[in-house]
Amino acid sequence: MKMPSPLHNLLFLLWLVQVLQGASGLRCYTCTTPRHDQSSSWPGSCQHFDGSEAFIETCREPYNVCVKVELADQLTRRCDMRPSDSRAPYCFQTADLSSCTCPTDLCNSAPLPLHPSPASAGVLLLVVVVAFRWFLEGS
C-alpha cells in the first residue's frame, strides 16, 4: 500500500481547517440602543458596550456578515445577511443613516468611518498647498 505524501497530508490539513472554520460560524457583536421610552439599563444596550463576551453572538445560517447601523439616535450591532458575492466590507452614509457591513469575526466594534464633507476636504487641501509652498520657500 502506497503511503500518502507530505503534500497530501498538508492539503488534507488545510482542507480540514477550512471545514472547521466554516462550521464554527461568524461571530459578531450584538447590541441595540434602546428607544427613548425604554430603559437604558437593559444589559444588551449599546450604551454599555465594552466588547466583552456578553455582547458576542455566533451567527447562524444564512447570516454571513456583521453589521453596525446608526439611524438617528439608534445604534445596532448584529449579524446580517448579504449575497455571497458581496461580502466585502461596505459602508454607506446618508443624512440620517450610517451602515457598515464586514465579513470577519467581531469586525463591527469600531466607530463608523467618518465621511468628510466637501468643505472639510477643501480646507484640508488648502492646508496642504500652503504647507507645501511654505516648505518650498524655506528651501
For residue 135, give the H/E element and its range.
helix 118-138
In this structure, which topology does domain 24-112 adopt according to CATH?
A: CD59 (2.10.60)
Task: Spell out the domain ranges in the chain.
Answer: 24-112
Quick one: pLDDT at residue 138? Answer: 74
pTM of the full structure: 0.59
Q: How far apart are CA 68 and CA 91, in angstroms?
A: 9
Partners of residue 101 on adjacent β-strands: 67, 90
Please tell me the least confidently modeled range out of 44-48, 101-105, 128-132. Answer: 128-132
pLDDT category, 16, cuts 50, 70, 90?
Answer: very low
pLDDT band at 128 (very low <50, low <70, confident <90, very high): confident
